[in-house]
Structure 1
Amino acid sequence: MLSTFFVPEGTDFSASEIEVGGDEAHHGVNVLRLKQSEEVKISNGAGNWGVGKVSQLSKKSFTVEISTRGFEAAPKQRIVVVQAILKNDANKEAVDFLTQVGADEIIPWQSQHSIGKIDDKSLSKWQIVARESSRQSRRVRIPLVTRILSTEQLILKIKELQNVLVLHEAAESRLSQIEINEEADVTLIVGPEGGLSEIEVNTFIAAGAKVVRLGESVLRAANAGAAATSVVMSRTGKW
Structure 2
Amino acid sequence: MSLPVHLVPDLAATRVGDEVVVEGDEAHHAVAVRRLRVGERVVLTDGRGRAVTGVVASTGKRVFAAVAEEVVDAAEPSPRLTVVQALPKGERGELAVEVLTEVGAARVVPWAAARSVAVWKGERAAKSHARWQATAREAAKQARRPWHPVVDPLATTDDVVALVADARLAVVLHEDAAAPLSSLAVPAEGDVAVVVGPEGGLTPDEVERLAAAGAHVVRLGAEVLRTSTAGVVACAALLSRTARWG
TM range (shorter): over 0.9
Aligned to 2:8: 7
Give the aligned partner of residue 51 of structure 2: 49
Structure 1 stretches of at least 4 aligned residues deviating more than 4 Å after TM superposition: none
Structure 2: tracts of 5 or more residues without a match = none
Give distance in 1, aligned partners of 2:40 and 2:113. Answer: 47
Are 1:116 and 2:122 an aligned pair?
no
Q: Secondary structure at the match of 1:212?
A: strand
Q: Evaluate the alpha carbon distance shift between residue 237 and residue 76 of structure 1 in structure 2; reply closer, same or farther with a 3 A threshold.
A: closer
**CA drift at 1:134:** 0.8
* Cα distance per residue 1:125-183 (max 9 Å; x no partner): 21111111111111121101112211122223322333100011122222233122334
SS of residue paired to 1:27: helix
Count of residues paired in the alignment: 239
Distance 1:129 1:177 in 2: 33
In structure 2, what is the equivalent of residue 186 of structure 1?
192
- Who is 1:30 aligned against? 32
2:22 counterpart letter in structure 1? V
- Aligned partners of 1:176 and 1:235 also within 8 Å: no
- On the 8 A contact 1:41/1:51 being kept in 2, the answer is yes
Select which of 100, 103, 111 maps to 2:102.
100
Q: Is 1:133 aligned to residue 139 of structure 2?
A: yes
Q: CA deviation at 1:99?
A: 0.5
1:176 alignment partner, SS class: helix
> Gaps spanning 5+ residues in structure 1: where?
none
More deviation, 210-219/7-16: 7-16
Calculate the aligned-residue CA RMSD, in Å: 1.6
| SS of residue in 2 equivalent to 1:217 | coil
* CA shift digits 1:102-122 (9 cap, x unpaired): 000111111011111222332
* TM score, norm. by length of structure 1: 0.94
Does residue 75 of structure 1 match 2:77? yes
1:2-25 CA-partner distances (Å, limit 9, x unpaired): 110000136632261101111211
| Contact 1:13–1:48 under 8 Å retained in 2 | no
Quote the residue 1:19 is aligned against: 21
Question: 2:172 matched to which residue of 1?
Answer: 166
